Amino acid sequence: VSAIAAAADQLTIGLDVGGTKTAVVVTDAAGDLVHETVQPTTAAHLTDQLVAMARAARAAAEVARPGSDVAAIGVAAPGRVDPATGTVDLAVNLGADQLDVAAPIERQLGLPCFVEHDARAAAIWLADQADGADDGTPPSLAYLSVGTGIAAGIVIDGKPLRGRRGLAGEVGHVVADPAGPRCTCGLRGCLEAVAAGPALARLANAAAERKGGPRVTSAEDVFRSADAGDAGARRVIDGAVGHLARAIRGLVLAFGVERVIIGGGVAGAGDALLGPLLDAIAIERQASALAEQALSETSIELLPPQSAAGARGAALVARRAFASTPTAVAVGGRG
Ligand SMILES: [Zn+2]
């Protein structure tokens, strides 16, 4: 009781490490935003960047809320996250084999630091924001992040699904096309290799090369070309949308989630992504009574832009962990 009461007057920092951008937020006990900044990710000096961003956020929060203090820091990161040691490995899109995240932050800021998988942190925040069902059942939802990589965060009956080694939700490396290209993880035809942002750009460039069209550098360009009437870009998007629709069906059937919220850089395309995705899912529903039953009551949504779900989730994870962890153990408790 005393730890929770003490935490009620304190702020938490949430950092969200993405393949291209890193966001930091400071939130209060009610979850309201006190401060927010986004920077390009500098993967080569990532821990230094996280320490500097947390330090600047703490200083900004002290100005925004005089007399308040930051109690804990949460970090949302891709890859296999071990909340017990505060380390991250297999973060293929950060080009890192092993990252010691929590210990340097705790050492340099003197605050407890808690690490969570980025998509899972976003899902935890979305579940916290959601009203449960009318009958009082806690929310079951999946957050599907489609950006540099693809991963899902899954919350079942209000509880985040972690799995034995923390790899639950890594649907980006489930096979989408057995004959597809090699993925950054080493496997062939992963969902990520055919439907993530870099895959869209690569596939569009392969098509452009065959016909001598202009090259693109990002998924955003591919959506722009398709919008301007480029048939090759349209085919690339339709292909990726088909893969994503099947992945969403898989999430709904495997986990019984009532909502799938799509975020990440590719979701920035907005209705240009959601429209075709809903069409593809409607076709599946027409083809199958089973799909109709599973998907008819599932809400498929885009995460509103600028919602900073990962960073806010990291701040929420830190608040909950801090409230349930004696400070003396959390600070300096790691070797
Ligand atoms: Zn893979």
Distance 48 CA to ligand 1 centre (A): 28
Distance 11 CA to ligand 1 centre (A): 37
- pLDDT (0 to 100) of residue 2: 45
What are the Cα distances from residue 158, in Å, to 128, 154, 167, 183, 324? 8, 10, 19, 32, 18
Distance 228 CA to ligand 1 centre (A): 31
Distance 309 CA to ligand 1 centre (A): 24
Eight-state DSSP code of residue 110: -
Burial classification of residue 174, based on how many CB atoms lie within 10 Å of its CB (0-12 exposed, 13-18 middle, 19 or more buried) = middle
- pLDDT tens sequence across 157-208: 999 999 887 889 999 999 999 999 999 889 999 999 999 999 999 999 998 8
Q: How far apart are CA 305 and CA 301, in angstroms?
A: 12
Residue 33, amino acid: L
- pLDDT (0 to 100) of residue 280: 96
Distance 313 CA to ligand 1 centre (A): 25
User: Average pLDDT over the chain, rounded to whole?
Assistant: 90
Burial classification of residue 262, based on how many CB atoms lie within 10 Å of its CB (0-12 exposed, 13-18 middle, 19 or more buried) = buried
DSSP-assigned beta bridge partners for residue 229: none
Phi and psi angles of residue 176, each rounded to the nearest 5 degrees, phi first: -110, -35
Distance 93 CA to ligand 1 centre (A): 11
DSSP string over 181-215: PBPTTS-BSBHHHHHSHHHHHHHHHHHHHHHT---
Eight-state DSSP code of residue 30: T
Distance 199 CA to ligand 1 centre (A): 12
Instruction: Tell me what the mean pLDDT of segment 236-256 comes to.
Output: 96
% of the chain residues with pLDDT over 90: 72
Residue that the structure tokens 């500097």 belong to: 52
* Other Cβ atoms within 10 Å of 272 Cβ, number: 17
User: The tokens of 67 are what?
Assistant: 């007399």
Mapped to the 3 state alphabet, what secondary structure does 245-284 carry? HHHHHHHHHHHCCCEEEEECHHHHHCHHHHHHHHHHHHHH
Closest alpha carbon to 53 in 28, 35, 78, 69: 35
3-state secondary structure of 241: helix
- pLDDT (0 to 100) of residue 103: 94
- pLDDT (0 to 100) of residue 95: 67
The residue ranges of DSSP E strands in the chain, in sequence order, are 10-17, 21-27, 33-40, 69-77, 80-82, 87-91, 96-100, 113-117, 141-146, 150-156, 159-160, 259-263, 299-302
pLDDT band at 274; cut points 50, 70, 90 = very high
The pTM of this model reads 0.91
The answer to which of 14-18, 96-100, 201-205, 316-320 has the lowest mean pLDDT is: 96-100
Distance 182 CA to ligand 1 centre (A): 8
pLDDT band at 234; cut points 50, 70, 90 = very high
Distance 184 CA to ligand 1 centre (A): 6
Distance 253 CA to ligand 1 centre (A): 22
User: The tokens of 234 are what?
Assistant: 């349209």
